[in-house]
Structure 1
Amino acid sequence: MTGAPASAAGGSGATPAPRGGKLGAAAVNQAGLWNIANILTMVRLLLVPGFVLLLLHDGGYDPVWRAFAWAAFAVAMITDLFDGHLARAYNLVTDFGKIADPIADKAIMGAALICLSALGDLPWWITSVILFREIGITLMRFWVIRHAVIPASRGGKLKTLAQGTAAGMYVLALTGPLATLRFWVMMAAVVLTVVTGLDYVRQAVVLRRKGLAAERAAALEAVVAAAEAVRPESAPVVAVVSADTGTVGAEGVPGAVDAEAGEGTGTSEGVVEPVAGARGATETDR
């Protein structure tokens, strides 16, 4: 989630509801912290400890309690789909959402993987690969967020779907062919996790380079503008006393006329007084 809430700039923060929008009037008018997208994100965060308790209840091997845990996990994954869509569609983006949303996503998935590996249902190397990628990409998003936002790709969305499906199948107490199927679904999720992770790294490097180049160009333009603002419009005026004529002239002033011709350079009457002691002084002064 990117951007800034309408209320950040002051005022009521309300914006006109889009025509035909079912939730437009209700959602857009509350584009502060307590909007529907952020509420769904907070619900997902609160579901994490509940999911863990349900999954690990009675040793973690009771099919009934694991079914309850699967229900909590499914609700969390569904809210993940809706909060981002609502935030983008109705301009409900906030700084809280930009930080809390990825944390909530990784929290529910990380809790499921760690618990499943602790119960012996899922190999630890799978959990390690997925968590390393998810945490690394999240940190990298914050690394480049000052320059740009890495958009979610189709591969990333497919990866999230594959991870959620595979983890959900592992949460359920499946046996037989379904247990074999969930293993291959998890393998597909691992492959998508690695491939999309490498693609996000490439995007992050490109976006950061472009952002730094834009910052340098903006800084250079600011320096040039500042130099032009303080540059004088004309050359400085320099007064010069002629040793031959004893008159005062001006250099560096366009259109200035020499005082010997009887026209001054800065007086309204065009009269320049002779300098005493100069060669051009009058006989009386001598």
Structure 2
Amino acid sequence: MVAEPVAAPDPGPRQPALPEPTHVPVLNIANLLTVSRLVLVPVFLLALFTDGGTDPFWRLVAFVVFAVASVTDHVDGRLARKHGLITDFGKIADPIADKALTGSALVGLSLLGDLPWWVTLVIAVREVGVTLLRFWVIRHGVIPASRGGKAKTLAQVVAIGFFLLPLPAWVGPVNWAIMAVALVLTVVTGVDYVVRAVRLRARGKRALAP
């Protein structure tokens, strides 16, 4: 008698294959906007220093370039989050582009005598320090932007914009009121960032400990 072949047990319904992680190309619209912000920095400086920085028309041009570049900062981040275009390049290039734009505006205004150097130094020390902290803790994680940080950025952009515009002298107190708010937020959020960076690094070290 020939034995009947034994059927293999039914493995049951197949589990759907997990989707492979999608590779995000570095060359995407969000990163292109970030790079465009860097490209606009020398254009902004050229307009700012044309005719010694005293021509109202060129000051207005400098303001427009600065405003457009600042808007791209909001747009590129929003596009990256909405469409999944976040890349390591963007994480590094975006804050560098921000600092380059803000720093060039502050230094330019100080060179023209429109803004005291101590204001530029306070903001520059904070921004450079935060950028260095990002690299210091990058292997342990990313510190998310806080509401205070976003308010700081907005206050800085608005304050710099007022100083760029060829406005009458009586607007001066308004300029300084906005800049004062920006300076307070700059210092407070800088201290907060240091605290969060130290805590993140400490947690990362504990997680890596045997």
**TM-score, normalising length: structure 2:** 0.88
Question: Does structure 1 residue 214 correspond to structure 2 residue 204?
Answer: no
Q: What is the alpha-carbon distance in structure 1 between the residues aligned to residue 172 and residue 105 of structure 2?
A: 17
Return the match for 1:173 from 166, 173, 180. 166
Query: Where in structure 2 are the equivalents of 1:192-211 lying within 5 Å?
Result: 192-211=185-204
> Are residue 96 (structure 1) and residue 92 (structure 2) matched?
no
Q: Secondary structure at the match of 2:113?
A: coil
2:27 to 21, 29, 34: 34
**Aligned position for 1:70:** 63
Instruction: Give 3-state SS (helix, strand or coil) of 1:150's partner.
Output: coil
Query: Deviation at 1:11?
Result: 8.8
Give the alignment of 1:1-286 within 5 angstroms: 13=23, 31-216=24-209, 220=210
- Could you tell me which amino acid in structure 2 is paired with residue 47 of structure 1? L
Question: What is the RMSD of the two structures over their aligned residues, measured on CA atoms?
Answer: 1.3
Deviation sequence 1:252-279 (CA, Å, 0-9, x none):
xxxxxxxxxxxxxxxxxxxxxxxxxxxx
- Once the two structures are TM-superposed, the CA of residue 85 in structure 1 deviates from its matched residue by 1.4
User: Which consecutive residues of structure 1, in runs of 5 or more, have no partner in the other structure?
Assistant: 1-9, 14-30, 221-286
Letter in structure 1 aligned against 2:182: A
Deviation at 1:98, TM superposition (A): 1.4
Q: Secondary structure at the match of 1:161?
A: helix
Structure 1 moving runs of 4+ over 2 Å: 10-13
Q: Distance in 1 between matches of 2:160 and 2:186?
A: 13
Name the residue aligned to 2:13: none
What do the CA deviations read for 1:173-232 (whole angstroms, capped 9, x no partner)? 11233222011100110010000000000000000000000011xxx3xxxxxxxxxxxx
Find the structure with the greater CA-based Rg: 1
SS at match of 2:167: coil
Q: Which has the higher contact order (CA 8 A, sep 6+)?
A: 2
1:99 offset after TM fit, Å? Answer: 1.4
| CA distance in 2: counterparts of 1:67 and 1:37, whole angstroms | 27
Amino acid at match of 1:112: A
Cα deviation, residue 106, structure 1 = 0.2
Offset from partner CA, 1:131-171 (integer Å, 9 cap, x none): 00000001101110110111100000000000000001101
Q: What's the CA shift for 1:65?
A: 0.3
* Identity percentage of aligned residues: 58
The one-letter code sitting in structure 2 at the alignment partner of 1:114 is V
TM-score by length of 1: 0.65
After superposition, what is the alpha-carbon deviation per residue over 1:18-55, rounded to whole angstroms, capped at 9, x for unaligned?
xxxxxxxxxxxxx3011110010011000000000000
